[in-house]
Amino acid sequence: MRILVTGGAGFIGSHYVRSLLAGELAMDDPAGTFDASVTVLDKLTYAGNRANLPAAHPRLDFVQGDICDQKLLRDLLEGHDAILHCAAESHVDRSVEGGATFVRTNALGTQSVLEAAVAVGVPRVVHVSTDEVYGSIEHGAWTESWPLLPNSPYAASKASADLIARSYWRTHGLNVSITRCSNNYGPYQHPEKFIPRFITNLLEGLPVPLYGTGANVREWLHVADHCRALHRVLIHGRPGEVYNVGSGTELTNLDLTERLLPLCGADKSMIRYVTDRKGHDQRYSLDDTRIRESLGYRPQVAFADGLAETVAWYRDNPQWWKAANLGEPRTLAAASRRQQGWSVDHASVSTTRSH
């Protein structure tokens, strides 16, 4: 079996690739993808990192390129049996500063991947989405039939991608499934995100910026559990089906911060309450009964263990996250300046083979 992973040098995609190559997902696949070959397609923007993947592996090919490049996609997809579509702009704060890149990558990029899959005849696609497409929920939990009510440009671009994916199933008969996961955490996550931002700040003796009163609620899922769910859906999921992927671990942002403080050797004096984000959703919660009952998925990483292991990884790998920060002060304003100052040559494509 040959699988193309878009965005495979990013946080979730690279974990999936490393796990697949290491045979860690074989137990979820009696058909035997333990010996699957993987092609990673990644543009290597700020959140993509070649160092997240093995430097060399006999079953890995790496291609640097843009998912909006149809010629590249069609040439690359020949001979592939499946696509795991992880490529996305995913940071809400950046989407608030400017949404155009999110629409291009998340909506138009998804359409480009699906168009190429139909043209080449790739028999299986999984589109990786987010719980944020549902909006915010005060009580209870979202099922897959809940209406899409996104509140940020990021969430809206992902909701658009979900609808495009559904249309390719209905119109073209493409065997595509959609997954919507809760907030992920784990090693190799870019330090602009909540947990690695707070960990790396605290490890350097810097305060952590907590939005509003810290009362916003998120459901947290270890990236290893998410990747196990993605593989189950890839192998066993039904065409046109949506699968919520949750954990049942809901915490306010303040609760989460208070768990991180002692793990990083800090106390509450390091918390700085900052002006809340525009359109900040109050609470996310997924009902993932469908994937549990129909595909037999269960999360395996206890949150306390996963969080402690994540803190330890960032403590042991300062060279990785310091390079990801580009040496700038870790503030939202600095992140916005970096985003606005970067330019990308979309026509530039290079290919390297890892063996």
Q: Render 55-100 in DSSP notation, one character per residue.
A: S--TTEEEEE--TT-HHHHHHHHTT-SEEEE------HHHHHH--H
16, 69, 134, 154: the catalytic one is 154
Straight-line distance from the first to the last Cα atom of the chain, in angstroms, rounded to the nearest whole number? 18
Question: CA 221 → CA 28, 53, 248, 295, 307, distances in Å?
Answer: 18, 21, 8, 18, 10
Alpha-carbon distance 250 to 241, whole Å? 25
Q: Which of 166, 219, 228 is nearest to 12 (CA)?
A: 228
69, 131, 219, 288: the catalytic one is 131
Alpha-carbon distance 226 to 189, whole Å? 14
Q: Which of 31, 164, 12, 30 is nearest to 84 (CA)?
A: 12
132, 192, 225, 281: the catalytic one is 132
Catalytic residue status for 131: yes
Alpha-carbon distance 84 to 313, whole Å? 26
* Adjacent-strand bridge partners of 127: 85, 178
Catalytic residue status for 219: no
CB-facing half-sphere around the CA of 297: CA atoms within 13 A: 29
Catalytic residue status for 132: yes
Alpha-carbon distance 245 to 219, whole Å? 10
Q: Render 217-236 in DSSP notation, one character per residue.
A: EEEEEEHHHHHHHHHHHHHH
Q: Which of 287, 275, 282 is nearest to 149 (CA)?
A: 282
Alpha-carbon distance 309 to 285, whole Å? 24
Residues belonging to the active site: 131-132, 154
